[in-house]
Chain A
Amino acid sequence: MCLAIPMKLIKIEGDKGEVELSGVKKEVSLTLLKEVEIGDYLIIHAGFAIEKLNEEEAKKTLAIWEEIGNL
């Protein structure tokens, strides 16, 4: 049921948005999120954005892994 793939927000119209991944576009409801901006990566579940990806946290994780990779 849960699609774990973050999709990029490319259009906002009121409570609705359009997200895109590798050329595939989809209309989603934004009613569960407080603030979103074009360019945000969103986690989509059954037609709703359930959370916004926190890019800073994502980068932190990747930095830790980069260190492990360099060991």
Chain B
Amino acid sequence: MKYITEYRNKDLSHKIADRINNLLNGYKGKISLMEVCGTHTHAIFRSGIMSLLSDKIEHLSGPGCPVCVTPNKYIDTAIAYSRLGDTIITTFGDMIKVPGSTSSLEKEKASGSKVRIIYSPLESLEIAKKNPEKKIVFLGVGFETTAPLVASTILSAKDENIKNFFVLSGHKLIPPAMTALLESKEIKIDGFICPGHVSAIIGEGPYRPIVKKYGIPSVIIGFEPLDLLEGIEMLTKQITQRKKPSVENQYKRVVRSEGNKKALTLIDKVFDVKDSPWRGLGLLLKSGLSIKKAYAKFDAEKNIECEIEKTKEHPECICGKVLMGTKKPYDCKLYSKTCTPEHPIGPCMVSSEGTCAAYYKFKKE
């Protein structure tokens, strides 16, 4: 497979790992590297690269799983919409199993609600055309990588004059979450593994003020084992050689310095930046996206009324702390006992990008 297998060379992986370990040989103390992308979490575990690296590197998973950082209230709202009778909920697969306060979309579906798993948001428009008597509510969850797709879908709905398509926007932005983690001072972060595909959209620019203010080296990294190792080497160099912290881009074959301008224009056209609640991190300023007034007729919250149950959290689930990187999945009483991918209690165990799911799948502790 072109542009895939070349990035998985085992011998070379060992060589780069040795170079990283050599950098750390004379270094006193540990370095903590955090990734803020759920796909990185799984790629790091799946590749097994950490087993090649010095135990002076501590790997932390941050709030990079969109489903996981979506608070219960959003899920409760989606559940309330699904109960209305004249709606069809369309969603990416991960959301369906996520427990809300008392139910999940999966349970609602079993009780007769119409919930459809889709691969592309555009499928919602086809469903809308085939079911003119129904209101189609798409669950817009995801970071900067997903927001332009949803913006494009809303513009298509407008062009095609589709009147029964709505989006419940729960989109969130990654740089404000990185800032919030650093501001909280609850966790020591020496370097950020910046998300490859969020960066494909936003470019290098949004990380620069964070690096400047907090002095944390940040490297945009791809997803193959050699990408990860090369990126970790770049971070380790910045940290151990006490270079001036900067934003570097290991994933230049996909991420342009300026990002994808067309995608960014679409986000700006359809969405406004707003304060947004995150599981684990709380309400973060300017960290979410809401649908602009000009496209309000596609905004589920402005067009469909429903009663949302009182939000409550599972008292023992520590998903919020796992997302902050302050606790590991195995610190949770529920982990792998009552909470498993088959019967998840918290979202971090549900999502294919969740940290608990990664630990469980790859049997880490």
Q: Could you tell me which A residues sit within 8 Å of B by CB distance? A: 1-2, 4-6, 8, 21-22, 29, 31-34, 41, 43, 45-48, 50-51, 53-55, 57-58, 60-62, 65, 68-69, 71
How far, in whole Å, are A51 and B252 apart by their CA atoms in the complex? 11
Give chain B residues whose Cβ lies under 8 Å from the Cβ of A41: 2-3
Query: Is the Cβ of B121 less than 8 Å from the Cβ of A4?
Result: no
Query: Is the Cβ of A1 less than 8 Å from the Cβ of B224?
Result: no
Query: Is the Cβ of A32 less than 8 Å from the Cβ of B197?
Result: no
* 11 pairs, CB–CB < 8 Å, chain A vs chain B: A1-B353, A4-B224, A29-B120, A46-B121, A50-B145, A50-B197, A50-B200, A50-B263, A53-B253, A61-B252, A65-B9
Which B residue's beta carbon lies closest to that of A56? B253
Nearest Cβ on chain A to B234's Cβ, whole angstroms: 12
Tally of A-B Cβ pairs under 8 angstroms: 118
Give chain A residues whose Cβ lies under 8 Å from the Cβ of B122: 29, 47
Q: Which of B12, B253, B260, B352 contacts A65 (CB 8 A)?
A: B12
> Is B94 engaged at the interface, CB distance under 8 Å to the other chain?
yes
Give chain B residues whose Cβ lies under 8 Å from the Cβ of A65: 6, 9, 12, 226, 230
Nearest Cβ on chain B to A53's Cβ, whole angstroms: 6
Given contacts A43-B197, A43-B200, A69-B11, contact A62 B145 (CB under 8 A): no
Q: Which of A4, A32, A54, A60 contacts B222 (CB 8 A)?
A: A4
Q: Which of A47, A51, A61 contacts B121 (CB 8 A)?
A: A47
Given contacts A32-B266, A43-B200, A68-B12, contact A50 B260 (CB under 8 A): yes
How far, in whole Å, are A62 and B122 apart by their CA atoms in the complex? 36
Which A residue's beta carbon lies closest to that of B263? A32
**0/1 string, B194-226, CB within 8 A of A gives 1:** 001100110000000000000000000011101
Given contacts A46-B146, A53-B253, A68-B12, contact A6 B200 (CB under 8 A): no
**0/1 string, B31-49, CB within 8 A of A gives 1:** 0000001110001000000
Give chain B residues whose Cβ lies under 8 Å from the Cβ of A62: 6
Q: For window 1-33 of chain B, which residues contact chain A by CB distance below 8 Å? A: 1-4, 6, 9, 11-12, 15-16, 19
Give chain A residues whose Cβ lies under 8 Å from the Cβ of B253: 53-55, 57-58, 61
Give chain B residues whose Cβ lies under 8 Å from the Cβ of A60: 252
Give chain B residues whose Cβ lies under 8 Å from the Cβ of A43: 197, 200, 254
Give chain B residues whose Cβ lies under 8 Å from the Cβ of A45: 145-146, 149, 197
Query: Is the Cβ of A69 less than 8 Å from the Cβ of B252?
Result: no
Q: Which of A8, A32, A46, A51 contacts B119 (CB 8 A)?
A: A46
How far, in whole Å, are A47 and B12 apart by their CA atoms in the complex? 33
Query: Is the Cβ of A48 less than 8 Å from the Cβ of B260?
Result: no
Query: Is the Cβ of B145 less than 8 Å from the Cβ of A21?
Result: no
Give chain B residues whose Cβ lies under 8 Å from the Cβ of A31: 152, 266
Nearest Cβ on chain B to A12's Cβ, whole angstroms: 16
How far, in whole Å, are A53 and B4 apart by their CA atoms in the complex? 12
Give chain A residues whose Cβ lies under 8 Å from the Cβ of B94: 1
> Is B130 engaged at the interface, CB distance under 8 Å to the other chain?
no
Given contacts A1-B353, A4-B196, A22-B1, contact A51 B9 (CB under 8 A): no
> Is B363 engaged at the interface, CB distance under 8 Å to the other chain?
no
Q: For window 300-340 of chain B, which residues contact chain A by CB distance below 8 Å? A: none
Nearest Cβ on chain A to B281's Cβ, whole angstroms: 19
Given contacts A47-B122, A50-B197, A68-B15, contact A4 B260 (CB under 8 A): no
**0/1 string, B231-265, CB within 8 A of A gives 1:** 00000000000000000000011111000101100
Nearest Cβ on chain A to B280's Cβ, whole angstroms: 18
